[in-house]
Structure 1
Amino acid sequence: MFTTGQLIFALFFFVAFALVVFFSYRKDKKLHARHYTGSIKILIGFILFLIILLLLKGWIKS
């Protein structure tokens, strides 16, 4: 399906991307704490909304 070179490139790309994201997050950690307080509540609300939509879809379909 994929050549060995493609798999090696994908592995290196993934590792490099993960490292860049990790170090960027560490650098901006204080800034995120100041500007995004309370965002966990929004995330939980969004996930609950999606769960409710899926439950309603299953309930209406049956």
Structure 2
Amino acid sequence: MFSQGQLVFAALFFIAFVIAVWYAYRKDLPLHKIFYKDNYKILIAFLGFIAVLFLIKIFFKR
């Protein structure tokens, strides 16, 4: 399906991409701690909202 060269390129690209994302995240970590310190509350509220929608779907299906 893929040639050996394409697989090698994909593997090397993936490794380079992960290293670049990791480096950028480590570089911006002090800013993340300042500006995004309470974002877990938004995530919990979002997941709760999705759960409520799921429960409403189940309730009205019966």
TM-score by length of 2: 0.75
Taking every aligned residue pair, what percent have the same amino acid on both sides?
47
Q: SS at the partner of 1:37?
A: coil
| Equivalences, count | 62
Counterpart residue identity of residue 17, structure 2: F
Runs of 4+ in 1 over 6 A off after TM superposition: none
RMSD: 1.8
Q: Which runs of 5+ in 1 are unaligned?
A: none
Deviation per CA, 1:31-59: give whole Å up to 9, x if none. 11001111111112222323333444345
TM-score by length of 1: 0.75
Q: Which runs of 5+ in 2 are unaligned?
A: none
Change (3 A) 1:3 1:40: same
CA distance in 1, matches of 2:40, 2:24: 20
